[in-house]
Amino acid sequence: MPELQFPLKNDTSRKIIHIDMDAFFASVEERDNPELAKHPLVIARHPRDTGGKGVVTTANYKARQYGIHSAMSAQKAYELCPKAVFVPGNHQKYREVSHQVRAIFQRYTEVIEPMSIDEAYLDVTSNKKNEKSALKIARFIQRDIWQELQLTCSAGVSYNKFLAKLASDYHKPKGITLITPEDAVDFLKDLPIEKFYGVGKKTVPKMNELGIFTGSDLYEKSEMELIQNFGKMGYSLYRKVRGIHNAPVNVIRQRKSVGRELTYGKPLATEEECLAQLRQIAEKVAESLKKEQKHGKTVVLKVRYSDFTTITKRKTFNEYIHEKDKIFSEASLIWEEVGGVEKGIRLLGITVTNLDPLTYENIVLPLWDTGNPYS
């Protein structure tokens, strides 16, 4: 079968920095309580306080030496390191610090794409300091964050987002790595295949079956073979291993939905408990919508039972909603259709989607106009 012939255009004109805060939540806690830095620190509620429930949000580097990592169960973290200090975490504080970090970015550029509370892409091709060296700007940002916030970050500098993110992860913590257009392919060929973003745990075995263990192996595969085996991801990886990823830094990332979920260690067993929780969740969703200055036309209810059966049901309206009472009212109506506490409720969640800015108003078109003298 003939090889697909798509033109390979590599835009190397941009100067992109990826900033990744080092063990962000744990570092904030250590800064505010230096005694914590002496110990393996896990950001999670202690499993003895939760009956073994909960997951690790992050951990400091001392804790990581024991194999503890984010998304691990808190119970497993405790088993790996019983002497670790567990701190529940303060997400309001972390958000405030994240805003302070963002303010430092804005001294250098307005072209910022936040990826999460602790990482962002910056396009500094044109920047507020008229500085030609992106590497210098990355060092300035590291300096400012340390001097003003007493926190460290790692930085990756390259000509595209894919390489900048790989670079920021290359020397952590406190690292800075530059990947030039000339060095990109050699850098990528040396990488283990699981280091390529988009190649998840389920994909690695299939890659290995095809003899792909490193970037070098990936580079040798034809575009057609990669597309046949991996679809769109194959198309993308064929280009990425050649250092090609032309997506720009997106200044505005449109939020597609706002939602909240609560998981219960002790399953909810009564209708009253469930409705009380739905009211509480609706209030949180309404608060988030207000912060985002958004409203939506679709309410989604998620219910997970004790046997882990999960039901998701949505309802779409003609008018926008964002008030807590309205969100609760609609969620409770959906609950009446799908609810049932016989099996015990392990999780409840409400999401408002189909979002638009609050400036998009509900417009009601009257069926008649009594003010019309000719009606």
Active site residues per annotation: 119
Burial of 133: CB neighbours in 10 Å, binned 0-12, 13-18, 19+: middle
Separation in Å, CA 65 to CA 125, 176, 178, 237: 38, 22, 27, 32
Q: Please, which residues have CB within 8 angstroms of residue 179's CB and are 6 or more apart in sequence? A: 156, 157, 158, 159, 163, 164, 166, 167, 187
**Whole-number Å distance between alpha carbons of 35 and 9:** 52
- Under 8 Å between Cβ of 159 and 14: yes
Phi, psi at residue 298, to the nearest 5°?
-130, 130
Phi, psi at residue 125, to the nearest 5°?
-55, -50
Q: Is 331 helix (H, G, I), strand (E, B) or coil?
A: helix
Which residue carries 């001294």 as its tokens?
107
**Whole-number Å distance between alpha carbons of 285 and 127:** 37
- Give the alpha-carbon dihedral of 221, 227, 232, 233, to 10 degrees: -30
Paired tokens of 1: 């079968």
Q: Does a cis peptide bond (omega within 30 degrees of 0) precede residue 88?
A: no
